[in-house]
Amino acid sequence: MERRLKEVKGEEESVMDVVLKKSESVVFRKIGDEYIVVPIASSVADVNSIFSLNETGAAIWERIDGKKNLKEIVAEIQEEFETEGQQLETDAISFIQDMMEAKLIKA
C-alpha cells in the first residue's frame, strides 16, 4: 500500500513522485555521530524544534536538492548501500511526511 500526500500542488500525487526541496530556514549539521536539523527561527518557541536524524534520515536529507523526487533518492541510497526492499521506501515516506509536517521540506 503506497501512502499518498494530500493536495500537493493542488492535486494528489504519490509521495514517491514529488520533487522535494529543503526549507531555506533550516541548518543541517553532523556533530560527532549525530545528524541534526535546526530550524532558524525568529521566535524562541521554534528553536526548541531540533531534529536528530538517524543514518537513513541523514542520507535522504543530504540528497534533497529540489531536482530529485523521493523515488530517485531512495534508488540512490539503495545503490550506494547495496540494499533492496520495501523497508527503506516505507521509512523514507514516513521521514518525508514528518519533515513536511514540521515545514522543514516542501514539495
Count CB atoms within 10 A of the CB of residue 28: 16
All domains of the chain, ordered by start, with CATH?
Answer: 17-106 (1.10.10.1150)
| Contacts of 34 by beta carbon, 8 Å cutoff, 6+ apart | 52
Kindly report the average pLDDT of the chain as a whole number.
84
Please give the residue that has the higher pLDDT: either 29 or 8.
Answer: 29
What percent of the chain has pLDDT above 90? 62
pLDDT at 73: 97
What is the per-residue pLDDT for 77?
95
Quickly count: other Cβ atoms within 10 Å of residue 96's Cβ.
25
Write the pLDDT tens digit of every residue in 37-52. 988 865 544 556 789 9
**Mean pLDDT of the region 6-19:** 66
At position 34, the amino acid (one-letter code) is E
Side-chain-side CA neighbours of residue 1 (13 Å): 1
